[in-house]
Amino acid sequence: MTTYYTKDHEYLRVDGDTATVGITNYAQAQLGDVVFVELPDVGKSFKQGAEAAVVESVKAASDVYAPVSGEIVAVNTSLPDTPATINEDPEGKGWFMKIKLANKAELAELLDEAAYKALIGE
């Protein structure tokens, strides 16, 4: 399993041809307390960079973009009822969706962990 990051503070954990997507710990810390999340429908397809989900906190609402093109094969159905999970475990139980990759070559445009840490100044 390989983890990639976007400049929009999303992570993807790629296992085979499926990526688990969520927001990074840095992103949840910037948002503050998450109070609402809107997830895409299973079966919907997105192009890389398209708005795929919405996360709202006490501070702001933010779009979550599809970090790769593909079809949504699963969503975290517990998040709408317990959005605080995103704050508690953003890169674990707080995942948003799983995308079946349409084009693995898009992964080359993403950041590895070292590049992401440099981006956020860690």
pLDDT of residue 94: 97
CA-nearest of 33, 43, 36 to 88 is 33
Q: Which helix (H) or strand (E) holds 86?
A: helix 85-88
Higher pLDDT, 73 or 1: 73
Q: Tell me the per-residue pLDDT of 96-105, one tens digit each, with 9 for 90 and over.
A: 999 999 999 9
CA-nearest of 95, 78, 82 to 27 is 95
User: What's the pTM value of the predicted model, to 2 decimals?
Assistant: 0.95
Q: Tell me the per-residue pLDDT of 24-74, one tens digit each, with 9 for 90 and over.
A: 999 999 999 999 999 999 999 999 999 999 999 998 899 999 999 999 999
Q: What is the pLDDT averaged over residues 75-84? A: 96
Q: For tokens 């307390």, name the residue.
A: 33
CATH topology classification for 2-112: OB fold (Dihydrolipoamide Acetyltransferase, E2P) (2.40.50)
pLDDT of residue 107: 97
pLDDT of residue 22: 97
Measured distance between the N- and C-terminal CA atoms of the chain, rounded to whole angstroms: 23
Give residue limits of the domains in the chain: 2-112
Render the burial of 56-69: b for 16+ CB within 10 Å, e for the rest.
ebeeeebebbbbbb
In one-letter notation, the amino acid at residue 85 is: T
Quote the CA–CA distance of 20 and 72 in Å, as a whole number. 10
